[in-house]
């Protein structure tokens, strides 16, 4: 980024310097060049941002919902006008091909328009009383100041869901993006700054884990909205001060079941898309596939041959590449560890299994299909978060369900079957917050999206995504009428 905003925080409606004086470097994973240097905010910065959000809350909470909706529409509009700059900042700092980054930005704009509409549909209830002359109202009120902490894999959407829903609800917010992807967040806040959103309603502090820790520990924060790894989620639960609502969107390790009655072409295409899109760095990525023994060999051969054809490239140079690099060295090491572990335990490497030739300048890894996997292999029970897929055969639906449910992950599961009984049996028995049958798009903006078990709690998307920023009040009035 060459913009003057780089190196500044957005607090109380202004771009301001950090008190810390420390900077974090942001790298392009396709070539390891430094993209930007941004402040590594300290407790003083966090305190300033939270104080601004507290002040703004006192007026924002009373702003008419239709006016708040207008602000959200204006932000959505501004995002659409800036889509190229936003998308380029995503690709430059985390590597997904530009065409995918543009898709993310368009969905981000859509989220603002969706929550603008939901904002005007926020209302409570009237509850009958046993005694005459009383009326009970149930009102929905904003929770207060939200601390939003996000990861790098969908650097804008995962901020946007929290930002749009909390502002729509009447909350104010302090956002801390991932240290790997702060520049797209800065571009997004430039969009907010270009609208007439009141000062202090939305604030941005950049930094790493310590900044996040200071934010969630701040006593004036009323709600923590977190998306990230299960380990960080567990740490945050211990860090928050006092008792406060939290939403935890944590890691996956998502299974897919392909039954003997599946449309194999659909299943192969689905696995290809949901395992290798964003280089497998999706919380709802398919990490492991269980295929009925009668279809197993055909499935793995067709999948490996399709995966081999995927185009891996620098997504700024080749905008429509299928896959860019993985986002950082940590992910690359985890991918290599999972592949080495599977290989050592007897998996067949049908394609990939190494860094692609000619792309040594960045964190590239070839799309990898591992066959004959067993449940003790890391790829089958731990989130890889990279372009690696483990496949195993099963013989009965009971066995498939048991294998799919056997890890702590509870975010999303996928099923391919043309059999109605299997559709319902699997749909109901899979212990996941999202189950997609004969498709791999488990999240849509107007349906609740959330995990269970080790994948966390709380919902984003849908009406429920807004409800997470609201609290109920029972207002019982004795009026005598
Ligand atoms: P991460 O947990 O390492 O970091 C996420 C954020 O938490 C970053 O902003 C980081 O700076 C911050 N952080 C780190 N330590 C902290 C602390 N002690 N207190 C407060 N904040 C702290 O995760 P990541 O590597 O950025 O993202 C990948 C993970 O996110 C994967 O596990 C993935 O499955 C998960 N994820 C989940 C969903 C979902 O909807 N369930 C969506 C996307 C990603």
Q: Domain holding 293: CATH number? A: 3.40.309.10
Q: In the prediction, which pLDDT does 1 show?
A: 40
Q: In the prediction, which pLDDT does 276 show?
A: 98
Give domain status of residue 2, yes or no: no
> 228: CA distance to ligand 1 center in Å?
2
Give domain status of residue 3, yes or no: no
Q: In the prediction, which pLDDT does 364 show?
A: 98
Whether ligand 1 lies within 6 angstroms of the CB of 209 is answered as: yes
Does 227 lie in the same domain as 83? yes
Give domain status of residue 155, yes or no: yes
> 150: CA distance to ligand 1 center in Å?
6
Q: How large a percentage of the chain has pLDDT more than 90?
A: 98
> 227: CA distance to ligand 1 center in Å?
5
What number does the ligand 1 atom closest to the CA of 152 have?
26
Does 393 lie in the same domain as 365? yes
Give domain status of residue 1, yes or no: no
Does 80 lie in the same domain as 67? yes
What number does the ligand 1 atom closest to the CA of 177 have?
9
Cα dihedral 313→319→323→328 (10° resolution): 80
Mutate which of 228, 229, 236, 443 for ligand 1 pocket (most atoms within 8 A of beta carbon): 228
Q: How far apart are CA 33 and CA 317, in angstroms?
A: 15
Q: How far apart are CA 446 and CA 119, in angstroms?
A: 13
Whether ligand 1 lies within 6 angstroms of the CB of 12 is answered as: no
Q: In the prediction, which pLDDT does 2 show?
A: 39
Does 79 lie in the same domain as 144? yes
> 462: CA distance to ligand 1 center in Å?
22
| Domain count for the chain | 2
Does 210 lie in the same domain as 61? yes
Q: Which residues contact 89 (CB under 8 A, 6 or more apart)?
A: 1, 183, 184, 186, 187
What number does the ligand 1 atom closest to the CA of 216 have?
20
The token pair that represents 246 in the structure block: 């939290």
Task: Report pLDDT digits (tens) over 262-320.
Answer: 999 999 999 999 999 999 999 999 999 999 999 999 999 999 999 999 999 999 999 99
Whether ligand 1 lies within 6 angstroms of the CB of 236 is answered as: yes
Does 210 lie in the same domain as 270? no
Give domain status of residue 42, yes or no: yes
Whether ligand 1 lies within 6 angstroms of the CB of 454 is answered as: no
Whether ligand 1 lies within 6 angstroms of the CB of 24 is answered as: no
> 249: CA distance to ligand 1 center in Å?
9
Does 171 lie in the same domain as 118? yes
Q: In the prediction, which pLDDT does 6 show?
A: 62
Give domain status of residue 230, yes or no: yes
Whether ligand 1 lies within 6 angstroms of the CB of 28 is answered as: no
Q: In the prediction, which pLDDT does 383 show?
A: 97
Q: Give me the sign of the Cα torsion angle 339, 343, 348, 353.
A: positive
Whether ligand 1 lies within 6 angstroms of the CB of 227 is answered as: yes
Whether ligand 1 lies within 6 angstroms of the CB of 228 is answered as: yes
Q: In the prediction, which pLDDT does 242 show?
A: 87
Which residues participate in catalysis according to the annotation? 249, 283
Residue 195 sits at the vertex; the CA angle it makes with 192 and 199, to the nearest 5 degrees, is 70
Q: How far apart are CA 143 and CA 449, in angstroms?
A: 20
Q: In the prediction, which pLDDT does 118 show?
A: 97
Contact 17, 8 (CB under 8 A): yes
Does 261 lie in the same domain as 244? no
Q: How far apart are CA 1 and CA 370, in angstroms?
A: 39
Does 177 lie in the same domain as 303? no
Give domain status of residue 76, yes or no: yes
Does 205 lie in the same domain as 108? yes
Does 239 lie in the same domain as 207? yes
Does 459 lie in the same domain as 435? no
Per-residue pLDDT of the chain (481 residues), as tens digits, is 435 566 799 999 999 999 999 999 999 999 999 999 999 999 999 999 999 999 999 999 999 999 999 999 999 999 999 999 999 999 999 999 999 999 999 999 999 999 999 999 999 999 999 999 999 999 999 999 999 999 999 999 999 999 999 999 999 999 999 999 999 999 999 999 999 999 999 999 999 999 999 999 999 999 999 999 999 999 999 999 889 999 999 999 999 999 999 999 999 999 999 999 999 999 999 999 999 999 999 999 999 999 999 999 999 999 999 999 999 999 999 999 999 999 999 999 999 999 999 999 999 999 999 999 999 999 999 999 999 999 999 999 999 999 999 999 999 999 999 999 999 999 999 999 999 999 999 899 999 999 999 999 999 999 999 999 999 999 999 999 9
Whether ligand 1 lies within 6 angstroms of the CB of 249 is answered as: yes
Q: Domain holding 105: CATH number? A: 3.40.605.10
Q: How far apart are CA 420 and CA 426, in angstroms?
A: 10
Q: In the prediction, which pLDDT does 5 show?
A: 60
What number does the ligand 1 atom closest to the CA of 252 have?
34
Query: For atom 3 of ligand 1, which residue has the closest CA?
Result: 229
Give domain status of residue 301, yes or no: yes
Domain of residue 29 covers 9-250+454-475
């Amino acid at each position: 980024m060459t913009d003057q905003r780089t190196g500044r925080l957005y607090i109380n409606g202004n771009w301001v310097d950090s008190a810390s004086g420390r900077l974090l470097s942001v790298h392009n994973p396709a070539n390891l060049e430094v993209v930007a240097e941004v402040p590594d905010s300290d407790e003083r910065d966090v305190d300033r941002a939270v104080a601004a959000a507290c002040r703004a809350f006192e007026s924002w909470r009373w702003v008419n919902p239709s006016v708040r909706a207008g602000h959200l529409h204006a932000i959505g509009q501004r995002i659409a006008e800036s889509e190229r700059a936003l998308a380029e900042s995503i690709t430059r700092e985390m590597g997904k091909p530009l065409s995918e980054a543009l898709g993310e930005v368009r969905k981000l704009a859509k989220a603002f328009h969706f929550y603008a509409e939901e904002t005007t549909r926020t209302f409570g209830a009237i509850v009958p009383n046993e005694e005459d002359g009383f009326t009970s109202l149930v009102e929905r009120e904003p929770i207060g100041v939200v601390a939003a902490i996000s990861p790098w894999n969908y650097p804008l959407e995962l901020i946007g869901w929290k930002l749009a829903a909390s502002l729509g609800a009447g909350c104010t917010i302090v956002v801390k993006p991932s240290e790997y992807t702060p520049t797209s967040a800065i571009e997004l806040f430039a969009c907010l700054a270009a609208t007439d959103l009141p000062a202090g309603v939305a604030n941005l502090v950049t930094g790493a884990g310590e900044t996040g820790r200071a934010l969630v520990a701040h006593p004036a924060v009323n709600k923590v909205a977190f998306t990230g790894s299960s380990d960080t989620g567990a740490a945050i639960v211990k860090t928050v001060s006092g008792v406060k609502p939290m939403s935890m969107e944590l890691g996956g390790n998502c299974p897919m079941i392909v039954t003997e009655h599946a449309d194999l072409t659909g299943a192969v295409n689905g696995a290809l898309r949901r395992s290798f899109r964003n280089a497998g760095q999706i919380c709802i990525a398919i990490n492991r596939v269980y295929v009925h023994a009668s279809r197993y060999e055909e499935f793995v051969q067709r999948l490996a041959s399709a995966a081999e054809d995927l185009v891996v490239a620098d997504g700024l140079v080749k905008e429509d590449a299928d896959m860019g690099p993985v986002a950082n060295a940590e992910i690359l090491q985890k991918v290599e560890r999972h592949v080495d572990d599977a290989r050592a335990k007897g998996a067949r490497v049908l394609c990939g299994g190494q860094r692609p030739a000619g792309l040594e300048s960045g964190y590239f890894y070839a799309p990898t299909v591992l066959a004959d996997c067993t449940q003790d292999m890391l790829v089958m029970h731990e989130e890889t978060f990279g372009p690696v897929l483990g496949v195993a055969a099963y013989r009965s639906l009971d066995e498939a369900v048991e294998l799919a449910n056997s890890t702590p992950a509870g975010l999303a599961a996928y099923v391919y079957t043309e059999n109605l009984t299997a559709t319902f049996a699997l749909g109901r028995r899979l212990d996941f917050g999202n189950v997609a049958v004969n498709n791999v798009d488990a999240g849509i903006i107007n349906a609740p999206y959330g995990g269970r078990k080790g994948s966390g709690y709380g919902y984003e998307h849908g009406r429920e995504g807004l409800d997470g920023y609201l609290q109920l009040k029972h207002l019982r009035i004795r009026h005598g009428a």
